[in-house]
């Protein structure tokens, strides 16, 4: 391999680095794979659109259309532009909050419910809590 090639490829992260870029990514990949979906890379994250399986059951039973784990979005159907923006907002929240995101999200969900959840409100409306 030439020196020039090595230098240029160093600017790109490895596939493994992209695959687990965030601590919650493996949860999203597991849910997507267990549901029989194949990932697509879109807007800096992985998207699994599931036709059935575990993810569709979990999402639709709870009345949701998608869920985000780090840089992985699992959706029960092709996301609309509004749903896509909402899920990308959660991705930005994951990046901003870091390791505390999942426990914080769950604590707020059980404490306040979905409708009064500050992270959900931030993902749905402006002004944004996290720029």
Span 44-90, pLDDT tens digits: 999 999 988 888 888 888 888 999 999 999 999 999 998 999 999 99
1-37 as b/e: b if 16+ CB within 10 A:
eeeeeeeeeeeeeeeeeeeebbebbebbbebbeebeb
Domain contains 93: yes
Query: Regarding predicted confidence, which is higher, 6 or 67?
Result: 67
Domain contains 59: yes
Domain contains 105: yes
121 pLDDT more than 90: yes
Find the domain containing 57 and state its range: 3-124
Domain contains 129: no
pTM score over 0.85: no
Domain contains 131: no
Contact criterion met (CB below 8 Å) for 129 and 118:
yes
Domain contains 104: yes
- Give percent of the chain with pLDDT exceeding 70: 79
Domain contains 13: yes
Q: How many domains does the chain have?
A: 1
10 pLDDT more than 60: no
Confidence label for 95 from pLDDT (cuts 50, 70 and 90): confident
């Amino acid at each position: 391999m030439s020196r020039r090639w090595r230098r240029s490829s160093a600017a790109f992260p490895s596939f493994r680095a992209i695959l687990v870029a965030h601590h919650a990514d493996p949860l999203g990949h597991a849910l997507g794979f267990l549901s029989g979906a194949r990932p697509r890379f879109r807007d800096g994250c992985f998207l699994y659109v599931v036709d059935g399986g575990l993810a569709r059951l979990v999402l639709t039973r709870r009345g949701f259309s998608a869920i985000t784990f780090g840089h992985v979005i699992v959706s029960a159907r092709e996301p609309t532009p509004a749903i896509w923006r909402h899920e990308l907002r959660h991705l930005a929240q994951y990046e901003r909050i870091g390791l505390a995101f999942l426990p914080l999200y769950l604590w707020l969900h059980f404490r306040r419910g979905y409708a009064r959840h500050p992270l959900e409100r931030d993902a749905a409306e402006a002004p944004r809590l996290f720029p």
